Every structure is written in C-alpha cells, then in structure tokens.
C-alpha cells in the first residue's frame, strides 16, 4: 500500500501548551525525543543537538536538561535522554528523514528491534497533526507512559498537553520509573 498519510487533527490537541502556536509564518512546532545508551552518550546527544540546529528547515532548537534513565523495553547500560522543541518548515516525513539521517551519521544500527543504540531520535509531536502510516505515527504512540520521554518534555514545558493528558500529570503517573536529571 502506498504511504498516503491520513492527516487530521485529534480531538484533544497535542502540543497545545502556550508555545504551541506556530511562531513564524509557515513554521511548525515539533517535539523530538533524543536517547542514547552506547558509546559516549552525552557527547552523541550534544552533537545531535548541533546537527538539528544546523539542519535545513529547522530553527530555534530548544533543548531540555539531560536525564539518566533505566532501559525500558531495551537492554544495555542506562540511557541518556533529552527532548528538543524545534521550529521547522519541513513536513512531518521530511523531518523524519532528517532525524534518521542524523541517527545514521552517529552510527545508528538496527540489528534487532529495541536494540541498544548510539542515538535514537523520535518525532513525538508535530503541531496537532495526527498521522498513522507504516513509516510514521504521530503523536508517538508510547510516549505518554514513558518517564524518559515525559520528564524532558515536562522540563521544556510543564503545561504541554498530549492527547492522553497534560505532561505533568502523566509524568507523575510514571514516578516508579528510574529517571534522574543530570
């Protein structure tokens, strides 16, 4: 089947905090999750932030603190995680292309599902777009129950709303998960 994205707006707007309105004509607000647990994870995440900052079609990158987190549905050493809010003129699939290019630059391999990784970049939210295609699902389907995603998002904007609720309440429900700010 061809990847014809069904794009619509959800009932509960995602990313509808005070920063959610596009800040510049033609620009979208996207929220990106960053993670790494192989090699020098901190250096890799910092380099990935620089790559985002310099990528075509991406501007105004704001990054959360970094968090040390226990692997969830994965293995290996602890992860470092962060989140970034970006303004972008790219569409969601072009932004995913950019994220995957940056992952590849940093040696990302996919030997098996949920394998440890040098770098993982997930597109969490893109304005209030709802999209479910073989290649891209947004809002990211599992972020609302993952402390390693919610803590950095909350750090960036505690009033951020996800389809499942506000990020602060969702994070509270993940209190048992091992997530510590550096």
For ligand AMP, the binding residues (CB under 6 A) are 96, 110, 120, 122-123, 135-138, 140
Select which of 68, 85, 117, 146 is catalytic. Answer: 117
Phi-psi region of 15 (alpha: psi -120 to 50; beta: other; left: phi over 0): left
Select which of 68, 108, 146, 161 is catalytic. Answer: 108
Q: Which is nearer to ligand AMP, 135 or 172 (CB)?
A: 135
Using only C-alpha atoms, the chain has a radius of gyration, in whole angstroms, of 15
Catalytic annotation present for 135: no
Catalytic annotation present for 113: no
Catalytic annotation present for 117: yes
Q: Kindly report the CA angle at 179 between 65 and 146, in degrees rounded to 5?
A: 100
- Report how far apart the first and last C-alpha atoms of the chain are (Å, whole number): 44
Report how far residue 59's alpha carbon sits from residue 36's, in angstroms, rounded to the nearest whole number: 23
Catalytic annotation present for 101: no
Q: How far is the CB of 122 from ligand AMP (least distance, A)?
A: 4
Q: How far is the CB of 25 from ligand AMP (least distance, A)?
A: 25
Report how far residue 79's alpha carbon sits from residue 148's, in angstroms, rounded to the nearest whole number: 9
Q: How far is the CB of 110 from ligand AMP (least distance, A)?
A: 6
Active site residues: 108, 117, 120, 122
């Amino acid at each position: 089947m061809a990847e014809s994205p069904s794009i619509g707006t959800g009932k509960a707007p995602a990313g509808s905090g005070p920063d959610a309105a596009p800040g510049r004509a033609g620009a979208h607000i996207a929220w990106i999750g960053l993670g790494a647990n192989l090699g020098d994870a901190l250096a890799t995440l910092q380099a990935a932030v620089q790559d985002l900052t310099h990528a075509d079609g991406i501007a105004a990158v704001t990054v959360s603190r970094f968090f040390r987190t226990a692997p969830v549905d994965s293995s290996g050493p602890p992860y470092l995680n962060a989140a970034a809010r970006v303004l972008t003129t790219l569409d969601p699939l072009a932004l995913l292309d950019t994220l995957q290019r940056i992952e590849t630059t940093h040696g990302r391999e996919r030997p098996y599902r949920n394998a440890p990784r040098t770098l993982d970049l997930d597109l969490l939210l893109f304005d209030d777009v709802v999209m479910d295609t073989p290649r891209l699902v947004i809002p990211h389907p599992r972020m609302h129950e993952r402390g390693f995603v919610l803590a950095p998002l909350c750090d960036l904007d505690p009033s951020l709303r996800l389809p499942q609720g506000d990020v602060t309440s969702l994070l509270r429900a993940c209190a048992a998960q091992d997530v510590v700010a550096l």
